[in-house]
Amino acid sequence: MKKIVILLFFLAPLFVFATEEVSLEGLDEPQWKDFAPVAYVDVKEPKGLGKFNDVVAYWYKRRVEFENGIEKCRAVEHNDDKIRCYQDLKVKQYQKNSDYNARIEAMERERMNPVEMQNPTTNMYPIGGFIQNLGRYQPNEFN
């Protein structure tokens, strides 16, 4: 009998830890650092002239929305619903990141290849057409 009590004394904590791990499995809470660029992980509310920085304001707004989403997910009582809430939050954040990256790439393409340079016939500079066609003229055609 003594051996059984001593064995239970040593095995009881193992059962407690085992049940806790099973109940917490799959409840990995998303972290803001997984979605934000390194420079904006600890972004604060822009103040003063910082209010005019659209990028900082964008990431601050996203961080506030993310933290509100985490609070809503923490309020859910059932583990299955909580896991689903966290997964939905992750999907939304990944979608917002892909939209943001697509906008940045489009702006970069536009900056590197302005619209007026794409079609030489609609060039803003009237002399541009002459300069582009300069090689087509023969020297004796200038009068």
Q: Assess if residue 95 is contained within a domain.
A: yes
| Residue 85 and residue 72 in contact, taking contact as beta carbons nearer than 8 Å | yes
Among all chains, which residue has been given the structure tokens 């304001």?
57
Is 79 part of a structural domain of the chain? yes
Q: Is residue 5 part of a domain?
A: no
- Whether 134 maps to a domain, the answer reads no
Q: Is the pLDDT of residue 18 over 80?
A: no
More confident residue, 52 or 122: 52
Which residue carries 């990995």 as its tokens? 28
For residue 3, being part of any structural domain is answered with no
What percentage of the chain reaches a pLDDT higher than 90?
A: 43
Q: What mean pLDDT comes out for the span 92-118?
A: 85
Cα dihedral value 94, 96, 99, 101, nearest 10: -70
How many residues appear in the chain? 143
Average pLDDT over residues 50-59: 86
Q: What is the pLDDT of residue 24?
A: 46
Domain housing 78 = 29-116
- Which of 11-25, 38-52, 60-74 comes out lowest in average pLDDT? 11-25
Query: Has residue 41 been placed in a domain?
Result: yes
Instruction: Give mean pLDDT, residues 35-53.
Output: 86
Instruction: Specify the number of domains making up the chain.
Output: 1
Note whether residue 121 is domain-resident. no
Q: What distance in Å separates the CA atoms of residue 62 and residue 53, rounded to the nearest whole number?
A: 15
Taking residues 1-21, report their average pLDDT: 52
Among 30, 14, 10, which Cα is nearest to 22's? Answer: 14
Cβ neighbours of residue 120 closer than 8 Å, sequence gap 6 or more: 128, 129, 132
Overall pTM > 0.85: no
Asked, for residue 122, whether it belongs to a domain, the answer is no
The mean pLDDT value for 6-20 works out to: 52
